[in-house]
Structure 1
Amino acid sequence: MPCVSTVEKALAAALYAEGDDALDTAASLLAADPAADAELDRRGELLLRGAWERGWQPEDVARLVRRDLDEAHGRLLAGLAVAESAAYGDRLPPRWRAQIAGLGSLGPYRADRFTRATAVLELYRLLARLPRIEPVGPPPGGAPLSAPAPAHEPRMLTRVRALLAKAEATGFPQEAEALTAKAQELMARHSIDEAVLAHGAPSAQEPSACRIGVDAPYETAKAVLLDAVAGANHCRAVWNSAFGFSTVVGFEGDLEAVELLYTSLLVQGTTAMTVAESAQRAGGRKRTKTFRQSFWTAYAARLGDHLAAVAEEVVTGDLLPVLATRELAVTDRADRMFPETTTTRVRGATDPEGWRDGTSAADRARPTGPPRPRLRGRDG
C-alpha cells in the first residue's frame, strides 16, 4: 500500500472541509514535518497554475485575497506567484508581468511554523475553490510573444498621466475638471488616430480585454463610473459583483487609457467627497452612509454625461464610419465573451445633499438633465 505523504494528508483534511478543526489538525501535521515544506510549495504552485487555466490572473486572485483573507495571505500569494511564473521567461505578456511585479513588492511572510502552515492552507483552500471565469487572455507559458513589449509607454499616455496627476493634486475643483477634460480629449484624439491608421489596412490587431477592480464600499456607483469611462473611450465594461471586478473589452491603447482615467477619477472623487463631508460636519450634520452612496451615484452619473460629451466633440462626421467599424469589433468580442448579461437601473441615491455635492464635484460648469445610469453585469 503506497505511503501517503504529510502534505497529502494535510490537504485532504483542510482544502474542502468547513470550519477550523480540520484546518488546525492539518496545520499541526505540517508544522511537525519540516521535510514537507518543499512538497507543500510545489502543491501551491500547481493550485495557482490551475487558477490561471480557469481564467484568473494574478491581480484577480490578489483582490479576493485582500477581500476575504489578510495581508499574510497576500504575502504568501506573492511568493507563490513569483516562483510559479519564473519558468515562463519571455512568455509572460506585459500586463501579466506587471501584475506579478506588483505582488512581489509585498515582501516575504514570516511566522512560526503552525501559524504559517495555517495561513498557507487557508490560501490553498481559496485557490482550490476558485471557479472558472471568462479568460481575458491565454494563461502564461504559451508561445513566445511575437514582438517585445515597448520600453516606454506611448507619449499620449505619458501626457495623460501628467494631466491627471495635476488634477488629483490641485485644490481647485474647476482646475481639476479642466485637466481631466483635457486628458479625456487627448485620449479620444489618440483613439481616433489609431482607428484612422488601421482603417482599410491589413492588421492583426483585434480587441482584447482586461479586468479592473471595483472595490467596496459603494461598488455599484463605482462600476457605473467605470462603465462611463469605458464607453467614452470606445470600450465595453461588464461588471462581476461577486468577485469585485469589471471586465473591459476594447483595443489595447484604449484599455490602458480607461484604467488610467478611472483610477484618477476615483482619487478625485474621494478627495471631493472628503471636502463635502467636512462642510456637512461644519454645518452640524454627521457623516452618513446614504450621503456617501448618493454622492458616488451622482458623481458617476454626471461624469458619464461629461466624458461622453468631451469624446464626441473631437469626432467629425467623416470619422464616424471608421469609429463604427472599431466599435462593432469591440461589441462582437464582448458579446462572445459574455453572451448573457443583464442591464439594471441603479438605485440608492436618497440623500439630496449627497446627490448635490456629487453632481457638483463631477461637473460644476455644465449642468445637464437628471441622468439615469444603467449598468451591464453578468447573469447570476
Structure 2
Amino acid sequence: MPWHHRRVSTPSTVERALRTALYDTTDATLDTAASLLAADPAADAGLDARGREFVATAWRRGWQPADLVRIVRRELDDVHVRLAAALIRAQAPHDRPRGHRWAAQLDALPAGAPPRTDRFSHATAVLELYRLLLRLPDLEPLDASAPDTSAGARDARPESRTLGRIRALLAKAEATAYPEEAEALSAKAQELMARYSIDAALLSARAAAPDAPGACRIGVEPPYEQAKAVLLDAVAAANHCRAVWNEPLGFSTVVGFEADLEAVELLYTSLLVQAEAAMTRAEAGQRAGGRKRTKTFRQSFLAAYAHRAGTRLRAAEQAAVKEAAEEQASGPAGPAADLLPVLASREAAVTDRLERMFPETTTTRLRGVSDEAGWAEGTRAADRARLRSRPPLP
C-alpha cells in the first residue's frame, strides 16, 4: 500500500501570539506574545487583518465608531485610541452603508497615525487594544427599525437651513462671555428647534410611509457624569425623546424621531459647554470671596443646573406646542390641524421603541449633591441660560 504523508499545519506567529495574550490578562503572557510579534516583521499584515476582524465583530455586537473610540479612550491611552481609529478606517471600505450618523462618526475619528516606536512597544499596545475589543459586551442595536434606504436618502439630502441656523446660534451662545446674550441666543435656538420638530411631525403624518423612531448614543463623560446624564435626560424629554444612561460604558442611548434626535444632540452639547463655563465663573467668584471650592461644589452646581434647565425646557416646549396648536386650529381645516394627536402618536411610538430596546431599566438617585452654594450658583446659571418659547411667527 502507498504511504500518504500528511503535513501538520504550524500555527502562524499571529495565532500563537493571540492565543498567548488575549485569553490571559497577566503582563507575563502579554510580554511573551509581544516578543513573538516583534521578532517576526512578516506577521504585521496578519496582525492588522485580525484587528479589522475584531472591529467587524464589534459592529455585529451593536457598537459604532464613536462608541469604540470612547471606550478605548476611557480604558486605555492615546496610542490605543489612534490604533483603534486606524483599524476603523481600514475596515470602513468593507462595511455596508449605515447612514449619516455612522458617516459623521467616521469623519470625526482622531486624525493622525499612531506613533511608531520600537516593535516590542508597538506590539504590546496592539495586543492591549485587542484584549479590550475581545471583551466588549453586546449593545442594543440602534438601526433595527431603520431601513438602509431611508438612511441613504438622508445621506443624499443636504442639512436643512434651519439646522444650520440652530448650530450657528448655539455656537455664538457658547462663545459669548455675557450671560444675557447667551440666554437670548439659546432661546432663539430652542424656538427654531421646536418649530423644526413640529414641522417634521406634521410632514411625516401626511407622508405615505411615516417615519419610525430611531436611536443614537451620546457620550456622558466624567467627571460629574451623573449630573450630566440628568441634563441629557432633561433635554431629551423636552424634545419628545427618551434617554437611558449606561453608566459603566459612559453613554446614554436616546430614542426618538430624527429631527428630535438632532435637536437633542445640538442642545445638550451646547448647554454642557455653557454650564461648564458658568461653573468656572462661579468658582472664580467663590474663590474671590475667600471660599475654597470642592468637587462637591461642582457636582451640586451641575445637578442644580440640570434640574433647573429641565424645568425651563419643559415649559418652553409646552408653550411651543400650545402656540403651534392654536395656529393650526385657526388655519384651514385639514390633516395639518391634527397636531396634538400626531404628537401623541409619536410619543407612543418612541415609548414602544424604548421598551423593546430596554425591557428592563432602573432609576438611580443623584449622589454628592450637598453643597448649598453650588446648588444656588447652578440654579442661577440655568436661569441665565433659560430657553423660552418661540415668539409668534410672522
Relative to the length of structure 2, the TM-score reads 0.88
Q: Is 2:47 the counterpart of 1:32?
A: no
Alignment partner of 1:289 is 2:295: yes
CA distance in 2 between partners of 1:148 and 1:175 (Å): 34
Alpha-carbon distance change, 206 to 269 in structure 1, aligned in 2, over 3 angstroms: same
Relative to structure 1, the CA distance from residue 34 to residue 143 in structure 2 (aligned partners, 3 Å threshold; closer, same or farther) is: farther
2:16 aligns with one of 6, 9, 20: 9
**Corresponding residue for 1:326?**
346
Counterpart code for 1:120: V
1:359 is aligned, of 379, 383, 386, to 379
Matches within 5 A, 1:231-380: 231-316=237-322, 317=325, 319-364=339-384
User: CA–CA distance in 1 between the matches of 2:98 and 2:210?
Assistant: 20
Could you tell me which residue of structure 2 aligns to residue 185 of structure 1?
Answer: 191
Identity among equivalent positions (%) equals 64
Q: Compute the displacement of 1:105 (Å).
A: 1.9
1:53 paired to 2:60: yes
Measured in 1, the distance between the counterparts of 2:86 and 2:211 equals 34
Distance 1:143 1:182 in 2: 34
Partner residue of 1:136 out of 114, 135, 142: 142
The secondary structure found in structure 2 opposite 1:314 is helix
**Matched residues in 2 for 1:131 and 1:359: separation?**
38
Instruction: Report the counterpart of residue 92 of structure 2 in structure 1.
Output: 85
1:234 Cα deviation after fit: 0.5
Aligned to 2:220: 214
Matched, 1:62 2:82: no
Pairwise CA distance, 1:175: 1.8
Secondary structure of 1:345's partner?
coil
Q: Separation in 2 of the partners of 1:231 and 1:224?
A: 11
Q: Displacement, 1:147?
A: 2.7
* Distance (Å, rounded) in 1 between the aligned partners of 2:384 and 2:207: 43
| Partners of 2:207 and 2:153 in 1: CA distance | 20
**Closer/same/farther in 2, CA of residues 347 and 320 from structure 1, 3 Å limit:** farther
Q: Using the alignment, how far apart are the partners of 2:73 and 2:383 within structure 1?
A: 33
Change (3 A) 1:145 1:286: closer
Verify: 1:121 aligned to 2:127, yes or no: yes
Cα distance, 1:266 vs. partner? 0.9
Question: What stretches of structure 1 of length at least 5 have no aligned partner?
Answer: 367-380
In 2, Cα distance between the equivalents of 1:129 and 1:95? 25
Structure 2 gap ranges (5+): 1-7, 326-337, 387-394
Single out whichever of 169-178 and 7-16 deviates more from structure 2.
Answer: 169-178
**1:204 Cα offset (Å):** 4.5
State the SS of the aligned residue for 2:216. strand
How far the C-alpha of 1:146 sits from its partner, in A, is 4.8
Provide the TM-score with structure 1 as the length reference. Answer: 0.91
**2:28 is aligned with 1:21:** yes
CA RMSD of aligned residues (A): 2.0
Paired with 1:197 and 1:143, the residues of 2 have a C-alpha distance of 19
Aligned residue-pair number: 364
Distance 1:365 1:125, change over 3 A: closer
Shift of 1:321: 1.4
Amino acid at match of 1:322: V
Q: Which residue of the partner structure matches residue 372 of structure 1?
A: none
Amino acid at match of 1:337: M
Q: CA deviation at 1:117?
A: 0.4
The alpha-carbon distance between structure 1 residues 217 and 145, as it changes in their structure 2 partners (threshold 3 A), is closer
CA distance in 2, matches of 1:209, 1:105: 27
1:82–1:104 CA contact under 8 A, matched in 2: no
| Amino acid corresponding to residue 125 of structure 1 in structure 2 | R
Q: Distance between the aligned counterparts of 2:310 and 2:114, measured in 1?
A: 41
Q: How far apart, CA to CA, are the structure 2 residues paired with 1:253 and 1:18?
A: 44
- Shift in Å, 1:314: 1.1
